[in-house]
Every structure is written in C-alpha cells, then in structure tokens.
Amino acid sequence: MTVRRLAVVAVGLATILVLALATQFNDTGERKYPGQGVPMVKVTIPALSEQARTGQKLFQENCSACHGDNAVGKEGFGPPLVHRIYEPNHHSDGAFFVAAKQGVRAHHWPFGDMPPVQNASPRDVERIVVFVRELQRANGIY
C-alpha cells in the first residue's frame, strides 16, 4: 500500500472510531450501551435515615438484580431509578407499589416488561421507596 492509501485508511478508521464513541452517550452524558450488567449512572450515597437503610437492604434483596446496587441500573437488565424519569412528579410513590405488585409494561426503557416482585410486601415497598427517594434527592432529583 502506498503512503497515501494508508493515510486515507487511517483517516477513515479514525472517523469511524470518533463516530462510534460519539454515539455511545446520550444528551445527559450517560453511556447508552456500556455493556451487559454495567451500572448505567453514578450515584452519590447520602447518610441514610434508619427507614432508608432498611429499604436499602430490601432493595438489595428484591430489586438490585435488575436495577443494580443503589439503583444505578444495569445495562441489559433494568433501568436506574436514580434518574429524572423517576422523579416524584413523573412516577409517584404509588407507581412503585403498582410496579412491585403487578409488574410494569416497558414504556421508558428498552429492557422489556418488569415482572411483579414476588417477595416484597407493601411495607417492604414503602421502605424501598424511602430509600430510592433519599438517593434521588441526594443526586438532585426532586
């Protein structure tokens, strides 16, 4: 290959790489496709209330397999709950109760439908919601 052809190929490959990287992030700077099971957002963990600490344990037992530790989401499994989509004005606390009891049809994310959470009582969900809301507030989601 001539030097000129090598230069054209190098520029072409560099352009493809730049375009591929540019399409990996959405308008809020979150990675669109970080890889199966990879956390989707960074979350600041505040000092939690006693009820939220209980909710954190319950979240770990019932929700983290899909929504990730501390609700950061898991690419390929479930969305982050510490996200503006789940702010209280858009998804009320009641939406979490319905989701846990009945499941949810996919409508914001491409993860498929969420099944009901079999082992979470209404009291458990109440504590989980306290945990998620405290995480949200600590991360600027009101």
C-alpha gyration radius of the chain: 20
Please, where are the H alpha helices in 23-116?
A: 50-62, 64-67, 93-102
Residues 74 and 121 in one domain: yes
| Same domain flag for 12 and 27 | yes
Report how far residue 25's alpha carbon sits from residue 55's, in angstroms, rounded to the nearest whole number: 31
The dihedrals phi and psi of 25, each to the nearest 5 degrees, come to -120, 145
User: 3-state class of 39 per DSSP?
Assistant: strand
What are the residues whose beta carbons fall under 8 Å from the beta carbon of 26, sequence distance 6 or more? 32
Which position has the token pair 């979350």? 43
Flag whether pLDDT at 18 surpasses 50. Answer: no
Same domain membership, residue 79 and residue 20: no
Q: Answer whether residue 22 shows pLDDT above 60.
A: no
Q: Give me the number of domains the chain comprises.
A: 2
| pLDDT attached to residue 48 | 98
pLDDT at 82: 97
- Do residue 90 and residue 119 come from a single domain? yes
- Same-domain pairing of 75 and 8: no
Q: DSSP assignment, residue 59? A: H
Give the C-alpha separation, 34 to 12, whole Å: 24
CATH number at residue 72: 1.10.760.10
Does residue 32 register a pLDDT over 80?
no
Asked whether residue 69 falls in the same domain as residue 23, the answer is no
pLDDT one-digit tens code per residue, 33-47: 556 788 999 999 999
Angle at CA of residue 36, ends 74 and 42, nearest 5° = 40
Give the pLDDT score at 131.
98
**Quick one: 54 and 106 in the same domain?**
yes
pTM of the model: 0.75
Least confident segment among 7-16, 96-105, 132-141: 7-16
Domain that holds residue 28: 1-33
In percent, the amount of the chain with pLDDT more than 90 equals: 70
Residue type, 61: E
